[in-house]
Structure 1
Amino acid sequence: MTGTGGGHRGHTLWLAGICMARAGSSVMSMAYPTVLASVQEEWGLSFTAAGTINSATQAGTALSLVVLSVLADYLGPRAVFLGSAVLAAVTSFLIPIFAHGHASALVLFFLSAVAIAGTYTPGVMLIAARFEPARRGGAVGWFLASSSVGYVLALAIGGLVVAHAGWRAALFVLALGPVGCLLLSLVLFRGRTERGAVPSSRFTWDTGLGGNRAAQLMIAGYVFHSWELLGMWAWTPAFMTAVLVAHGTAPTPAAGLGAGLTALFHVMGIAASSTGGWLSDRWGRTAVIAGMMIVSSACSFSFGWLLGAPFALVLVAGCLYGFSALGDSPVYSTGITETVPPARLGSVLAIRSLLGFGAGAIAPSVFGMVLDLYQDRTAVAGWGWGFSVLGIGGVLGLASILWLRALPEARRLAGGKR
């Protein structure tokens, strides 16, 4: 990153542009949780069946990132980002047109996730190439925070449209987000390729992870983090709907309001992403990750049991949950860039994405199976044990990061701050 004032302004404007593009594409990532309560009732889905659609979106993300992250090493991250933005803009409009039941929704949300995934890892790679290590954590943090901006827009705007015009109209509105991403990308990626983000001279699946304990443990922590985070994201709107119903709200308005209230938790995620990366630049990567995972694990083991608690307490707990569960995400991404060679970064991110989003694909279905054991949307035990299952991932992730912190290799992180 250059030291001139003009250079700083140019980097800041570029970062703002790619963050806005990522926010637009991320809107559709939260589209299904936004409408879940409505379509589950209309299509007569069990909790397990409803969870499998969420799992399909995470599986699509995982499988797509395996290929796209490696291709980003070969073709360049800019080309992959732009191509994915085109596909995302097209596939997003197919969902409200052709989704009429479990099977069609599962396939369509899967395809949408495949396209949207291409604006994630290539974006991290472009930022890593442009920003020096001292500022990289903060830059990646803002990029991940922009994803949460998209989630907030999906839940707030989508929830409002669901309550007044139905879930299909909401999906049409949310599909405008990827269109905005495409338009921004066309402007953002004009001109020369970013220095350090050029394609590799040869295609390879080699990751260089063998013997790299720091990268291995960073990936392990990310996998357990993804289990907790993506499971929580999938079911929190439905949980807030159940909370509202338990407090006397009718089911139909509760579905829209539940999604809207969940947006508040993602607002806390925006703050967490932007500050988590910044704090890790100063306090160290493993210290910030460990602190966040301690809090998020405690929230996982307690949040679901608050179904009948005072509403204000549920909101406060949800905000804390949203902050802590996402606050370490940018730190994981930044840590990976510091533990693997730049030429193999895309390949390593592919492995990380496959394992992380793979875990995130399983978590919503397991959660749904727990709920089906109780056969009641307002059963406290069902929600309590469902969220507690996610907390297991938080505990295992904490163990992985503490192990990493004890290794000499941890000194490669954050300029020696571990």
Structure 2
Amino acid sequence: MLHQTIAPPARILPALVFSQFAGTSLWFAGNAVLPDLQASLQMQEGALAMLTSAVQLGFIAGTLVFALLSLADRVSPRLLFMLCALLGATANALVLFTANDFHAVLLLRGLTGFLLAGVYPVGMKIAASWYSTGLGKAIGYLVGALVMGTAFPHLIRALGTSLPWQQVLVAVSVLAAFGGVLLYLLVPDGPYLKRGATFRVQNMLQAFRDRSFRSAAFGYFGHMWELYTLWAFTPLILTLTLPQLSPVEVSAYSFAVIAAGAVGCIAGGYLSQVWGSARVAFVQLLLSGLCCLLSLVVLQLNVPQLIIPFLLFWGVVVAGDSPQFSALTAQTAPPQLVGTALTLVVAIGFAITVVSIQLTGFLLTQWPLHDALALLAVGPALGLLALRRLV
């Protein structure tokens, strides 16, 4: 039967999830070894925001370039994923040889972000080529893998705290390269692989004429204002609020807080089958916005038994709505402009993270930590207003 659903082989989803996890571990590799890089380069406090923003800006540029060239349509997605994972791993490892030049490190982190545009979105495309039904749940697992990959460098740092920072970077690069090769070997192009919509600049405004699409997109933008800023500053939050923690404990708890988002992503994927994506996204965005406001009180208490569970819960809900926003933007985009619309939304979303990270980094030099973090609530508040019509 032409329309019969084809069941993917059992290995497809685990291989996709692992490869996505391995590739995206490159994202915060620089953050995990930042104390050593700061010592090597004699960097100022603003280095954290600059290194993180370099990756984000690189990802934005990569997303737009890949879309303009239609690379995922012209090249097999699995081949593109592998090449970008290998090149991203190389760019990450080259930091070893440029650690005495801050501008070179920034350039390499930006290049790593550029190549991640061939890992994260392309992994989604590969998943869509295998799952005609159950895609929402599959995306929940894939975004969960992204979250775990983002957190993983902190785990390496915690488990191998006596390791030189160079070995931590090498370990992340090896993992990313292995993930890219593994996906190429185990995941062929799926039976539902189709050409995506051609990216055309003149189509950008047309996508935003649809009210439902605007609601999904602006909800996502509010979510992105908070997400990467919290992730980027988690080690600093732990260091400032719980000064009694050792560096090993800071790395371990940073991993736990960021990785907790995988729980929210996967659980949200299952809940969306009952509640719908809009309601799941709304509830999680509401809860993460409340965490921004509660940080005004909780983070001043210096009580590990309260602060650690609070940050873990925040980690769950701050990322758990990501897969549902991906589903909502895909569902509400004009059918003939899905590729253009999703590319534009992702690019704007990551541009917003750069503004948020830089602003928060500046505010931390002027304000107490809890006041700066409370300002993150602006994003969820505006996102909730936009999302109301879809609930």
Which residue matches 1:143? 142
Question: What residue ranges of structure 2 are gaps of 5+ in the alignment?
Answer: none
The match for 1:313 among 291, 302, 306 is 306
Q: 1:239 aligns with which of 225, 237, 246?
A: 237
Query: Which residues in structure 2 correspond to 1:151-190 (within 5 Å)?
Result: 151-161=150-160, 163-190=161-188
Mapping for residues 353-368 of structure 1, pairs under 5 Å: 353-368=346-361
Q: Residues 348 and 81 (structure 1 numbering): CA distance in 2 closer, same or farther, change over 3 Å?
A: farther
2: CA distance, partners of 1:225 / 1:202: 27
Q: 1:336 to 1:130 in 2, by over 3 A?
A: farther
- The aligned amino acid for 1:386 is A
Take 2:198 and 2:331, find their aligned partners in 1: how far apart are those partners? 23
CA shift for structure 1 position 243 = 3.2
TM-superposed CA distance for 1:276, in Å, is 1.0
Q: Residue 289 of structure 1 is aligned with which of 273, 281, 284?
A: 281
Amino acid at match of 1:198: K
TM (normalized to structure 2)?
0.90
Tell me the matched-pair count. Answer: 385
Instruction: For 1:265-276, list aligned pairs within 5 A.
Output: 265-276=257-268
Matched, 1:104 2:96: no
Structure-2 residue corresponding to 1:345:
338
Structure 2: which amino acid aligns with 1:290? F
The correspondence of residues 366-405 of structure 1 with structure 2, limited to 5 A, is 366-373=359-366, 382-405=368-391
1:222 paired with 2:220, answer yes
Counterpart CA distance in 1 for 2:302 and 2:99 is 36
The worse-fitting range, judged by mean Cα deviation, of 31-40 and 394-403 is 31-40
- Relative to structure 1, is the Cα distance of residues 72 and 389 closer, same or farther in structure 2, using a 3 angstrom cutoff? farther
> Which structure 1 segments of 5+ residues have no match?
375-381, 406-418
Name which of structure 1's ranges 281-290 and 296-305 shifts more when overlaid on structure 2. Answer: 296-305
Q: 1:74 to 1:132 in 2, by over 3 A?
A: closer
Distance 1:226 1:170 in 2: 28
SS in 2 for 1:211: coil
Deviates more, 1:62-71 or 1:291-300: 62-71
SS in 2 for 1:182: helix
3-state SS in 1 of match to 2:136: helix
Q: CA deviation at 1:270?
A: 1.3
Change (3 A) 1:367 1:194: same
Displacement of 1:101? 4.3
Residue in 1 that maps onto 2:74? 75
SS at structure 1 position matched to 2:195: coil
- State the distance in 2 between where 1:197 and 1:257 align: 44
**Would you say the 8 A contact 1:72–1:122 is kept in 2?**
no
Identify if the C-alpha distance between structure 1 residues 159 and 114 changes in structure 2 by more than 3 Å, giving closer, same or farther. Answer: farther
Q: By how many angstroms is 1:239 displaced? A: 1.6
Q: 2:332 and 2:74 mapped to 1: Cα distance? A: 22
State the alpha-carbon separation in 1 of the partners of residues 212 and 237 from structure 2. 37
- 2:104 partner letter: S
Q: Does 1:30 align with 2:21?
A: no
Other-structure match for 2:120 = 120
1:330 aligns with 2:354: no
Q: Residue 50 of structure 1 corresponds to which residue in structure 2?
A: 48
Question: Cα–Cα, structure 1 residues 116 and 272, in superposed 2: closer, same or farther, change >3 Å?
Answer: same
Q: Secondary structure at the match of 2:194?
A: coil
- Give the Cα–Cα distance (whole angstroms) in 2 for the partners of residues 60 and 152 of structure 1: 19
> In 2 relative to 1, CA 72–329 (structure 1 residues): closer, same or farther, beyond 3 Å?
farther
Q: Percent identity?
A: 22
What RMSD over aligned residues (CA atoms) do the two structures have, in Å? 2.5
Q: Is the 8 A contact 1:73 1:345 kept in 2?
A: no
Task: Decide which structure has greater helix share.
Answer: 1
Tell me by how many angstroms 1:37 deviates.
3.7
- Kept after mapping to 2: 8 A contact 1:149/1:270: yes
The alpha carbon displacement at 1:341 in A equals 4.9
Tell me the residue number matched to 1:416.
none
Shift in Å at residue 365 of structure 1? 1.3
**Cα offsets for 1:319-356 (capped at 9, x unmatched):** 11000001100001111221225553332221011101
Structure 2 residue matching 1:302: 3-state secondary structure? helix
TM-score, structure 1 normalization: 0.84
One-letter amino acid matched to 1:389: L
Q: Is the 8 A contact 1:74 1:203 kept in 2?
A: no
Q: Distance between the aligned counterparts of 2:328 and 2:272, measured in 1?
A: 10
CA distance in 1, matches of 2:247, 2:388: 40
- Please give the alpha-carbon distance, in whole angstroms, between the structure 2 residues aligned to 1:296 and 1:231: 13
| TM-superposed deviation, 1:128 | 2.7
CA displacement, residues 278-306 of structure 1 (integer Å, 9 cap, x when unaligned):
21122012111110011101112233651
Over 3 Å counting, the alpha-carbon distance change for 1:349 and 1:80 in structure 2 is farther
Asked if the contact 2:198–2:340 (Cα under 8 Å) also holds between the matched residues in 1, the reply is no
CA shift in 2, pair 1:199/1:300, >3 Å: same
Note if contact 2:41-2:99 (Cα within 8 Å) is conserved in structure 1.
Answer: no
Local SS of the residue matching 1:309: coil
Aligned equivalents of 2:335, 2:100: Cα separation in 1: 44
Greater Cα offset, 85-94 or 394-403? 85-94
Alpha-carbon distance change, 201 to 316 in structure 1, aligned in 2, over 3 angstroms: closer
Aligned equivalent of 1:196, options 188, 192, 196 = 192
Deviations 1:154-191 (A, max 9, x none): 21112333x3123233212222221112211220344x
